[in-house]
């Protein structure tokens, strides 16, 4: 692969709470997934994040989540597919308004946390997310993992699906992410993460914690920029990709695949 997108979840501060290192991360990535106020972020933080992304030439994406500030959107909720549809429309629409006010456009949608996994694992939620994206703007790109109901529904609906992989998460033999509740779910060693990213891009595979290889599609790599060490982590990955001649850039509808 000669081009890859680096995406990061941003805009997660709200009120008096400051979360993340957005200003330092933005120059290192190509796509920003902006929290839309349900699991994190608020109206002012959305404005600031869009403004910073615009200044850095970073593509803007909506990162809609479940309405769960206390749990950071990582706890599943008993919601109906109809409610999920409404949540997506509401949050994407809000970010579109913020972006339009600054003369930029929303490029993609990536569900957050538990909502991402619910849509990946359960077909009714996947269809609700996809229908919401298609109804708001069918030209929006949809980020999701290969082999999930979310990306399958997106493809079937005619959306432009961008397949996502993770630099700092381990994988199970079926291609799913290792649950955060397990001790080996997160990769904190920069060399290990870099090795995983290069394997994804060069071989289209990832090695599980038990040593098995499984296929993975990686058109966009999710990196996280929380903490000082994480910033160096992202910078190292970017530097190595550039050294290997891999272009870092956001996918847009006009790019095709």
Q: How many domains does the chain have?
A: 1
Distance (Å) of CA 212 to CA 172, 173, 176, 187, 191: 9, 7, 13, 17, 19
End-to-end Cα distance, the chain: 11
Do the Cβ atoms of 143 and 61 come closer than 8 Å? yes
For residue range 217-243, list pLDDT tens digits in order.
Answer: 999 999 987 765 778 889 999 999 999
Structural tokens at position 204: 């289209």
In the predicted structure, residue 4 carries a pLDDT above the cut 50:
yes
As to burial, measured by CB atoms within 10 angstroms (0-12 exposed, 13-18 middle, 19+ buried), residue 125 is buried
* Phi, psi dihedral angles at 171 (to 5 degrees): -120, 155
Q: What is the pLDDT of residues 100-154, one digit of tens each?
A: 999 999 999 999 999 999 999 999 999 999 999 999 999 999 999 999 999 999 9
Q: Among all chains, which residue has been given the structure tokens 């930029």? A: 104
pLDDT per residue as tens digits for the range 166-211: 999 999 999 999 988 888 898 988 899 999 999 999 999 999 999 9
Q: Which pLDDT score, from 0 to 100, does residue 69 have? A: 94
Show the beta-strand stretches assigned E in 90-144: 106-109, 141-144
The pLDDT assigned to 227 comes to 60
Contact, 88 vs 128, CB < 8 A? Answer: yes
Q: pLDDT at position 253, please?
A: 60
Q: Nearest 5°: CA angle at 93, between 24 and 75?
A: 70
According to DSSP H, which parts of the chain are helical?
Answer: 22-25, 43-56, 81-101, 113-121, 123-136, 149-156, 190-203, 228-243
Q: State yes or no: pLDDT of 256 exceeds 50.
A: no
Could you tell me the pLDDT band of residue 254, with boundaries at 50, 70 and 90?
low
Over the stretch 19-76, which tens digit does the pLDDT of each residue have? 989 999 999 999 999 999 999 999 999 999 999 999 999 999 999 999 999 999 999 9
Q: Are 253 and 141 in contact (CB under 8 A)?
A: yes
Instruction: Enter the tokens of residue 257.
Output: 């695949």
**Which residues touch 192 (CB under 8 Å, ≥6 apart)?**
none
Positive/negative CA dihedral, 224, 76, 59, 204: positive
- pTM above 0.85? yes
pLDDT digits (tens, 9 = 90+) for 78-92: 999 999 999 999 999
The candidate with the shortest Cα–Cα distance to 140, out of 101, 175, 93, 176, is 93
Rounded Cα distance between 224 and 72, Å, is 15
Residue 121 is part of which domain span? 3-255
CATH number at residue 89: 3.20.20.370
Is-contact 85 58, C-beta < 8 A? Answer: no
């Amino acid at each position: 692969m000669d081009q890859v997108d680096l995406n990061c979840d941003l805009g997660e501060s709200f009120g008096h709470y400051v979360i993340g290192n957005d200003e330092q991360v933005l120059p290192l990535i190509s796509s920003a997934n902006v929290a839309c106020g349900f699991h994190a972020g608020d109206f002012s933080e959305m404005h600031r994040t869009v403004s910073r992304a615009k200044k850095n030439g970073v593509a803007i994406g909506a990162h809609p989540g479940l309405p769960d500030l206390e749990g950071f959107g990582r706890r599943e909720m008993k919601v109906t597919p109809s409610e999920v549809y409404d949540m997506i429309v509401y949050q994407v629409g809000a970010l579109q308004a913020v972006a339009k006010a600054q003369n930029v456009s929303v490029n993609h949608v990536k569900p957050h946390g538990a909502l991402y996994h619910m849509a990946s694992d359960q077909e009714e939620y996947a269809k609700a997310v996809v229908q919401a994206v298609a109804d708001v703007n069918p030209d929006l790109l949809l980020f999701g993992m290969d082999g999930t109901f979310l990306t399958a529904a997106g493809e079937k609906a005619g959306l432009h699906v961008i397949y996502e992989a993770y630099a700092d998460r381990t994988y199970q033999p079926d291609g799913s992410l290792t649950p955060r509740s397990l001790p080996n779910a997160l990769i904190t060693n920069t060399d290990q993460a870099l090795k995983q990213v290069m394997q994804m891009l060069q071989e289209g595979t990832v090695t599980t914690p038990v040593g098995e290889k499984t296929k993975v599609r990686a058109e966009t790599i999710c990196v996280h920029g929380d903490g000082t060490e994480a910033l160096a982590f992202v910078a190292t990955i970017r530097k190595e990709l550039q050294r290997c001649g891999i272009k870092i850039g956001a996918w847009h509808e006009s790019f095709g695949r």
